[in-house]
Amino acid sequence: MKTSIIENGIKTNKYESINGLFGEYGGMYVPPVLEGKLLNLAAFFEQTKSQPDFEEEYIHYLKTFVGRPSPLYYARNLSEIAGSKIYLKREDLNHTGSHKINNCIGQILLAKRMGATEIVAETGAGQHGVATATAAALFGMKCKIFMGATDAARQKMNVSRIEMLGAELVLTNEGRATLKDAVDAALGYYIENPDVYYLLGSQVGPHPYPTMVGYFQRVIGKEAKQQFLEAEGRLPDHLFACVGGGSNSIGLFADFLYDEAVAIHGAEGGGEGAVFGKTAATLSMGKPGVFQGTFSYALSDENGDVYPTYSIAAGLDYPGISPQHALLKDTGRADYHLVTDAEAIEAYKLLSKSEGIIPAIESSHAVALALQMLKGKENQISIINLSGRGDKDVERKLL
- Average pLDDT score over residue span 216-222: 98
For residue 366, which of 80, 69, 91, 181 has the smallest C-alpha distance?
91
Task: Specify burial of residue 311 (Cβ count, 10 A radius: 0-12, 13-18, 19+).
Answer: buried
Q: What is the DSSP letter of 275?
A: S
Domain range enclosing 238: 68-97+219-394
Q: Looking at per-residue confidence, does 143 or 33 come out higher?
A: 143
Whole-angstrom distance, CA of residue 121 vs CA of residue 186: 6
Q: Is 13 within a domain?
A: no
**What amino acid is encoded at 58 in this protein?**
Y
Examine the domain organization and report whether 148 and 188 are in the same domain: yes
**The last residue of a domain, from among 171, 188, 213:** 213
Res 4: pLDDT: 46
Within a 10 A sphere around the Cβ of 159, how many other Cβ atoms?
Answer: 22
Q: Is 3 within a domain?
A: no
Task: Specify burial of residue 149 (Cβ count, 10 A radius: 0-12, 13-18, 19+).
Answer: middle
pLDDT at residue 2 greater than cutoff 50: no
Instruction: Look up the CATH number of the domain holding residue 341.
Output: 3.40.50.1100
- Burial code (b: 16+ CB inside 10 Å, e: under 16) for 186-208 equals bbebbeeeeebbbbbbbbbbbbb
**Cβ(189)–Cβ(120) under 8 Å?**
yes
Res 396: pLDDT: 80
Task: Specify burial of residue 33 (Cβ count, 10 A radius: 0-12, 13-18, 19+).
Answer: exposed
pLDDT at residue 11 greater than cutoff 60: no
3-state secondary structure of 9: coil
What is the residue-wise DSSP string for 202-261? SS-SSTTHHHHHHHHHTHHHHHHHHHHHHHHSS--SEEEEEESSSHHHHHHHGGGTT-TT
Catalytic residue among 85, 89, 100, 225: 100
The yes-or-no answer on residue 387 being catalytic is yes
Q: Is 76 within a domain?
A: yes
- Average pLDDT score over residue span 50-61: 97
Examine the domain organization and report whether 125 and 231 are in the same domain: no
- Its pTM stands at 0.95
The yes-or-no answer on residue 122 being catalytic is yes
Q: Is 21 within a domain?
A: no
| Residues of the chain above pLDDT 70, percent | 96
**Cβ(339)–Cβ(345) under 8 Å?**
no
**The last residue of a domain, from among 213, 240, 263:** 213
pLDDT at residue 231 greater than cutoff 70: yes
Res 7: pLDDT: 53
| Residues of the chain above pLDDT 90, percent | 92
**The last residue of a domain, from among 213, 233, 253:** 213
Catalytic residue among 122, 343, 355, 362: 122
Split at pLDDT 50, 70, 90, the class of 1 is: very low
Chain mean pLDDT for the chain: 95
- Average pLDDT score over residue span 221-225: 98
- Average pLDDT score over residue span 35-60: 97
| Sign of the dihedral through C-alpha 173, 176, 182, 187 | negative
261-301 pLDDT tens trace: 999 999 999 999 999 999 999 999 999 999 999 999 999 99
**Cβ(336)–Cβ(325) under 8 Å?**
yes
Q: 58-67, 108-117, 332-341, 390-399 — which is least confidently predicted?
A: 390-399
For residue 141, which of 117, 106, 107 has the smallest C-alpha distance?
117
Examine the domain organization and report whether 324 and 190 are in the same domain: no
Catalytic residue among 79, 284, 382, 387: 387
Q: Is 273 within a domain?
A: yes
Examine the domain organization and report whether 340 and 389 are in the same domain: yes
Within a 10 A sphere around the Cβ of 77, how many other Cβ atoms?
Answer: 15
Q: Is 291 within a domain?
A: yes
245-258 pLDDT tens trace: 999 999 999 999 99
Q: 142-146, 306-310, 357-361, 395-399 — which is least confidently predicted?
A: 395-399
Within a 10 A sphere around the Cβ of 396, how many other Cβ atoms?
Answer: 15
- Average pLDDT score over residue span 98-119: 97
- Average pLDDT score over residue span 17-38: 95
Find the length of the chain: 399
Examine the domain organization and report whether 263 and 156 are in the same domain: no
Which positions ≥6 away from 225 have C-beta within 8 Å?
235, 255, 256
The yes-or-no answer on residue 2 being catalytic is no
Q: Measuring CA to CA, how many Å separate 151 from each of 47, 123, 170?
A: 37, 9, 12
Q: Is 26 within a domain?
A: no
What is the residue-wise DSSP string for 98-142? BTHHHHHHHHHHHHHHTT--EEEEEESSSHHHHHHHHHHHHTT-E
Whole-angstrom distance, CA of residue 183 vs CA of residue 123: 8
Whole-angstrom distance, CA of residue 202 vs CA of residue 96: 16
Q: Is 29 within a domain?
A: no
3-state secondary structure of 69: coil
Number of domains in the chain: 2
Res 3: pLDDT: 42
329-376 pLDDT tens trace: 999 999 999 999 999 999 999 999 999 999 999 999 999 999 999 998
Examine the domain organization and report whether 116 and 149 are in the same domain: yes
